[in-house]
Amino acid sequence: MKSVIRRCALWLGCATALAPAWSAQAEPALAWPARQITWVVGFVPGGTADVLTRVAAQELSRRSGLTVVVENKAGASGAIALQLVARSQASDGYLITVPGPLIYPNPQPAIGKELAPVMLLAQGPMVIVGPASRSLPGLAEVLADARKHPEAWSFGSSGNGTSQHLAGELLNQYAGTRIMHVPYKGGGQAVSDVAGGQIPLAILGSAPVLPQIRAGVLKAYAVTTRARLASLPDVPTVAESGFPDYDASQWFSVAASPAVDAAVLDQLNALLRQTVQSRAFQDAVATAGMTAGGGSRADLQRFIADDSAKWRKLLDSGAIKLGN
């Protein structure tokens, strides 16, 4: 697995013009309406969605017999990428990794409406981190200081309305704090700034922060799900830190243009279900502190509906704001 992650690290710096492509020589096993699959990630390289997509793309290419190119189309918390794929034709051959929960102040293409569901890719916790050089003993101390000095505290995320943003605002609600949100175009940029001390906190997926935590550059204060992270067994959950009802997870799904024929999407779903069971992908999600997805296209639609209802209720209550 270490070799897989090293390859991922090399890929992360690739610009769109040099986007990595994987191709298999066998006869295509997927009746895809294009010469290749272009798999879009709506954030800059370096985050969990980007890493997992690249591993999945390589495995999908091997199984489908098609070239798979990963392109990063960052901006507007992933909305630019969503709009690109939603407007595309079947012959464009686009897939997209859609992170969730992801809620925008203005309507954007959604799975089940402007985007066709394909499969749940992975799900798991986020980690609350700060620079190790200026760390406090624990989350309780961070929150206590944030109540006394709200102007001194902010948290970075991969963008407005993302799972990390919502997790931070949920923590504000539970803790009675006003920690300001700082949106980035992806997890990689937020990691750089929190590691360098430009921001005091970040809430991110585990994949981009684990190396920095292990290197002693970042301090992990808590994970956002009810269960601890196996790769960070000594880091408590937010629930264990004084907020027993707190629980927030992030997930990644795969969607396509609604113009792609349903029979082809069913074929793609079958191949992706094999992909997420591969050793390479299982190792990648384990390293990222997540679990592999799967299920049918209808399963994904139901999953998203249930998760969105949870966050929509909080948004409607006014407890979470989508502004910075």
Condensed to tens digits (0 to 9), the pLDDT of residues 13-28 reads 333 333 455 544 445 6
Q: How many CB atoms lie within 10 A of CB 261?
A: 12
Given a contact cutoff of 8 angstroms between Cβ atoms, the answer to whether 165 and 315 are in contact is no
Distances in Å between the Cα of 271 and the Cα atoms of 204, 266, 277, 287, 290 are: 29, 9, 10, 23, 20
Round to whole Å and give the CA distance between 42 and 186. Answer: 8
- At CA 197, angle to CA 194 and CA 201, rounded to 5? 45
Residue whose token pair is 């997790």:
167
Round to whole Å and give the CA distance between 165 and 77. Answer: 10
pLDDT value at position 318? 73
Given a contact cutoff of 8 angstroms between Cβ atoms, the answer to whether 264 and 32 are in contact is yes
Q: Hey, what domains does the chain have and what are their CATH numbers?
A: 36-123+250-317 (3.40.190.150), 125-241 (3.40.190.10)
Q: Which residues of the chain have pLDDT under 70?
A: 1-28, 319-324
Closest by CA to 18, choosing from 68, 93, 78, 69, is 69
pLDDT in tens, 164-174: 999 999 999 89
pLDDT value at position 111? 95
For residue 292, what is the enclosing H or E element? strand 291-294
Round to whole Å and give the CA distance between 316 and 161. Answer: 14
299 φ/ψ angles, rounded to the nearest 5 degrees: -60, -40
Question: Bridge partners of 38?
Answer: 69, 94
pLDDT value at position 320? 66
pLDDT value at position 28? 60
Q: Please report, as a single letter, which amino acid is at residue 19.
A: A
- Look up residue 22 and give its two tokens: 């994987």
